[in-house]
Amino acid sequence: MKLNLGLFARLGLLVLAFAVSGQANAVKNGDYQRVKNAVIKIYSTITPPDYFTPWRLLNSQQSSGSGAVIAGQRILTNAHVVANASYLQVQKNGDPRKFLAYVDFVSHEADLAILKVQDPNFLKGIKPLSIGKLPEPLETVSVFGYPFGGNTLSITQGVLSRVEHQFYAHAGGYFLAGQIDAAINPGNSGGPVIVGDKIVGVVMQANTGSMAENLGYFVPPTVVRHILEDAEDGVADGFVNLGIRTQNLDSPSLRKAHQVKEEENGALVVKVFNGSVADGKLQPGDVILAIDDYPVAEDRSIEFRKNQRTNFKYALDQHHVGEEVKLTISRAGEVQTIAILARASRSNYSRVLAERFDRQPSYFIYGGVVFVPLNMNLIKRWGNNWHSKAPVDFLSARGQWRTPEKTELVVALKVLPADVNLGYHDWKNWVIETIDGQPIVDFKDFVAKLRASEGDFLRLADEDGFQIVLKRSEAEASEAKILARYRVPRPYSEDLAPAEAAPSP
């Protein structure tokens, strides 16, 4: 299992991967053997890139998790179990042999992945498990998996205590999650939550904050089914996102200012992002009264099943790309209905790129200065306490929204000391605003402007006017020597190779 820590407001410290303690009463005796045979142990060799030195990999780590056999000779597990994996093996219960596996489909935002095994005989004789319905509160569930402390299958029990939207620790997605009021442990990540002989969830994360006891979370069936349907064509479309920001409408003065009638409730639209599906359809000041057939309350919640409420995002999560979302809104006191054709959502609308997995970092080196885009991978490289250890400029940038003029930030990460960059040897983690006086849209725009730049000097500046100036002839003449001195294989990442230098398909 791969441990991945994240600090979230209202949740405390979330740790990925788990198991619950107790007895397997939620599984009938006749179903026990079938479920037991369908639970798989997953061995991962994780080799993540080093975002402090983006041309290198970090040391490999061995971890393990759990999974369940589902229809189509597939294994359902967590994305964080296989993220950045360079080598995967799977093992059946009671069988000492390990078999090679690969990732067939992954949704990092929903923390789910589908594996397949190279040997077609691996799953022979195993009856796949089907996806059931979300349990009711206080209903007993069983968790199957391989937590640390032993090598054999562990079958434990918990009670469903709550269902509502939570932040998923792996990639920060915000989705419905089931809460189990039982202790959970590393190693059960990806293991099935079972009622009868059906999967009613995939164990995901635990809350280990100092004030929390026995709080574990699983991915519910609605999210699992969404990913399985998304995987049918092999293209990851993900979840839809209107591209708006809203706030609660529980202030009487706020309601009156936006002409909301006494019998009406909803979510106030405060921002519509350029280029989003809602651009041109919604506008700041609109009040979303309902999404499809779900009335929206003043706290932005909806009743997703009888006497149970969660964030209105639940209604959007039921849609796939290409489907139509119906909104009932109030605009200046007038009620109207609009339809929005759902498109794939952006990973986020911040200038700080969302965390990415299973790919190498982008970087560009010029005059010994290492340039990178600012993303959550870099910020989290400061460790589990990145909230307090990462540079303040990086952390505050997460609240800067993208605009057409600037979609991401460029950072001078560090300087590889040489004569050409004398005077800047201790500069690091420096956010750049302009290159030769021109504003920067994104990292690729920065690289394009750098390559096209002319003149004797390259001038870089931040928003306060501080500068790095490099003499162009010296920077170009010293490139090979600097790369050799610091054992850098090439001056840029593969995704930034010039078209004429790009490798043939």
Count of residues in the chain: 505
Contact 80, 67 (CB under 8 A): no
3 state SS of 87:
strand
Count Cα neighbours of 45 within 13 Å in the Cβ-side half-sphere: 10
Give the pLDDT band (50/70/90) at residue 3. Answer: very low
SS3 content of the chain, % helix, strand, coil (to 5): 15, 35, 45
Q: Write out the DSSP string of 153-209.
A: -EEEEEEEEEEEEEE-TTT--EEEEEEE-S---TT-TTPEEEETTEEEEEEEEEE--
Alpha-carbon distances of 413 from 61, 263, 474, rounded to whole Å: 26, 54, 21
Residue 141 has pLDDT above 70, yes or no: yes
**What pLDDT is recorded for position 445?**
98
Contact 27, 91 (CB under 8 A): no
Q: What is the mean pLDDT of residues 63-88?
A: 97
Q: Record the tokens describing residue 430, joined without a space.
A: 């420096």
Q: Record the tokens describing residue 344, joined without a space.
A: 């794939």
3 state SS of 231:
helix
| H or E element in which residue 413 lies | strand 410-415
Enzyme catalytic residues: 80, 111, 189
| Lowest-confidence pick of 9-18, 281-290, 369-378, 471-480 | 9-18
Q: Give the chain's domains with CATH numbers.
A: 5-233 (2.40.10.120), 244-341 (2.30.42.10), 364-501 (3.20.190.20)
Residue 14 has pLDDT above 60, yes or no: no
Our CA angle for 207, 208, 212, nearest 5°, is 80
**What pLDDT is recorded for position 299?**
98
Give the start-end residues of each E strand in 420-466.
Answer: 430-432, 434-435, 438-439, 457-461
- Nearest residue to 183 (alpha-carbon basis) of 161, 219, 215, 217: 215
Please state, in angstroms and rounded to a whole number, the distance separating the CA atoms of residues 322 and 229.
Answer: 13
Q: What contacts 50, CB < 8 A, 6 or more positions away? A: 56, 57, 58, 381
**C-alpha dihedral, 147 to 153 to 157 to 163, nearest 10°:** 60
Torsion angles phi and psi, residue 263, rounded to 5:
-85, 0
pLDDT tens-digit map of 428-446: 999 999 999 999 999 999 9
Residue 228 has pLDDT above 90, yes or no: yes
| Lowest-confidence pick of 154-158, 310-314, 336-340, 365-369 | 154-158
Torsion angles phi and psi, residue 376, rounded to 5:
-70, -25
- Nearest residue to 164 (alpha-carbon basis) of 307, 45, 31, 267: 307
Alpha-carbon distances of 201 from 28, 33, 78, 204, 328, rounded to whole Å: 17, 19, 11, 9, 32
Q: What average pLDDT is seen over the chain?
A: 91
3 state SS of 375:
strand
- Nearest residue to 42 (alpha-carbon basis) of 166, 187, 169, 233: 187
Contact 354, 373 (CB under 8 A): no
The whole-model pTM stands at: 0.90
Determine the longest span between alpha carbons in the chain, in angstroms. 79
Residue 104 has pLDDT above 50, yes or no: yes
Q: What is the mean pLDDT of residues 262-272?
A: 96
pLDDT tens-digit map of 302-333: 999 999 999 999 999 999 999 999 999 999 99
Count Cα neighbours of 396 within 13 Å in the Cβ-side half-sphere: 4
Give the pLDDT band (50/70/90) at residue 32. Answer: confident
**What pLDDT is recorded for position 15?**
44
3 state SS of 397:
helix
Residue 211 has pLDDT above 70, yes or no: no
Give the pLDDT band (50/70/90) at residue 348. Answer: confident
Q: Residue 186 burial (CB < 10 Å; 0-12/13-18/19+)?
A: buried
